[in-house]
Amino acid sequence: MIDLRSDTVSQPTPAMREAIFHAKVGDDTLRDDPTVLRLEERMASMLGKEDSVFMASGTMANQAAVISFGERGDEIILGENSHLFNLESGGLSANAQLQPQLIKCEKGVYNLEEIESKIRKCGVQFSKTALISIENTNDLNAGYVVKRQHIEEISKLAMRYQLPLYVDGARLFNAAVAQNLQLHETIPGAAAVMVAFTKGLSAPFGAILAGDKSFCEEARRVKQRLGGGFRQIGFMAAPVLVALDTMIPRIKQDHELAQLLANELKTYPLGIEPENVHTNIVHGHFDETESYADYLKKASILIKVTTKNSFRMVTHNGIEEEDVREVIRATDRYFNRR
């Protein structure tokens, strides 16, 4: 199978499996796991933050972040297409009890005036804004880069209102590679950030939540409350350390393969525009998406149908140039069969 549904289908490498076997572990809730401590220290430093907390998943990290930042009934300003709002089983209201103020994000660009218009001070009839949250890369079906300068503008706005800026950086490595920046340079002024390890990095588990010491202390308590009091979880931190050593160059290759795919497929009526492919996600709009996806499936190619007339194809560690060429050939057969 050529599986383009998501970068989350990427498999851990042999070196990661080896690292799992040999990992030195301890009780993480007691802060005794040396491998987790190494990972948390390394990620805090890569993200330019005082501390970081190893979480089970990006979703758990997002939930811990919003619970830590907000109080029941507060508001969070966030993108209408965000994972936090759409794909976390209602956690924003069920776990954090926050009220969302949704804003638009067009291809990774937020409207600063719109953000400002949503900020509220506490009043007898109002809830108060607790935080602004953005996503980078933005839109899990498109992977748009939110540029460093733009994040700086948003964080300056947040600071003017003394609000924390939170970045859901599930694919922040992609944003960094696309802009040729170090990880910490992608998020100027952010109070806290999450990065997931199970996407382009191909690790089997986990995400990190980073921020200042007091934020991470609170996030650790929330993590425990969510049932994330890990014990010998160094077995899952060890492959992440290998991923940090070995997988970052692969992300550049993922972006190049996505560009190749987009450039070759743009000649078919699939609504693919290479200039809209910023990272490793190619998205298309096509009235016959379901029939196209079925056809590809019969050719052992999986894509993700995102709506009745849209789809995405995601490159990752399990996809090579020959696989991309096969997708192009199968697409050509699809359009020439009629």
Among 28, 40, 168, 264, binds ligand PLP (CB under 6 A): 168
Give all strands (DSSP E) within 155-291, no chain letters.
165-169, 192-196, 207-211, 281-285
Angle at the Cα of 89 from the Cα atoms of 85 and 92, rounded to 5 degrees: 50
Asked whether position 57 contacts ligand PLP by CB under 6 A, the answer is yes
CA atoms within 13 A on the CB side of 234: 20
Using the rule CB under 6 A, give the single segment among 39-47, 57-65, 273-281, 287-295 that binds ligand PLP: 57-65
Q: How far is the CB of 180 from ligand PLP (least distance, A)?
A: 21
The answer to whether 102 and 79 have CB atoms below 8 angstroms apart is: yes
- In the complex with ligand PLP, the residue whose CB is nearer, 82 or 331, is 82
**Nearest alpha-carbon partner for 133 in 68, 197, 44, 53:** 68
Residue 184 contacts ligand PLP per CB under 6 A: no
CB of 178 or CB of 331, closer to ligand PLP: 178
CB 84 within 8 A of CB 78: yes
Evaluate whether 85 touches 93 at the Cβ level (below 8 Å).
no
Among positions 49, 83, 147, 312, the unique one binding ligand PLP when judged by CB under 6 A: 83
Helix axes 234-246, 14-22, angle to 10 degrees: 140
Pick 164 or 264: Cβ nearer ligand PLP: 164
Query: Does 263 participate in binding ligand PLP (rule CB under 6 A)?
Result: no
CA–CA separation, 263 and 61 (whole Å): 35
CB of 332 to ligand PLP, least distance (A): 30
Whichever of 195 and 264 has its CB closer to ligand PLP, that residue is 195
Beta-carbon neighbour count of residue 53 at 10 Å? 28
**How many residues interact with ligand PLP (rule CB under 6 A)?**
12
CA–CA dist 315, 313 (Å, integer)? 7
Closest CA relative to residue 187, chosen from 163, 213, 168, 162: 168
Is there binding between residue 254 and ligand PLP (CB under 6 A)?
no
User: Is residue 196 within the footprint of ligand PLP (CB under 6 A)?
Assistant: yes
Residue 46 sits in the site that holds ligand PLP (CB under 6 A): no
Closest CA to 190 of 173, 167, 210: 167
Q: Does 58 bind ligand PLP (CB under 6 A)?
A: yes
| Residue closer to ligand PLP (CB basis): 128 or 148 | 148
Residue 283 touching ligand PLP (CB under 6 A): no
135 binds ligand PLP (CB under 6 A): yes
| Binding residue (CB under 6 A) for ligand PLP from 66, 98, 130, 170 | 170
**In terms of CB distance, is 57 or 232 closer to ligand PLP?**
57
Whole-number Å distance between alpha carbons of 64 and 66:
6
Per rule CB under 6 A, is residue 59 in the interface with ligand PLP?
A: yes
Q: Determine if 207 is a binding residue for ligand PLP (CB under 6 A).
A: yes
Residues near ligand PLP (CB under 6 A) are 57-59, 62, 83, 135, 140, 168, 170, 196, 198, 207
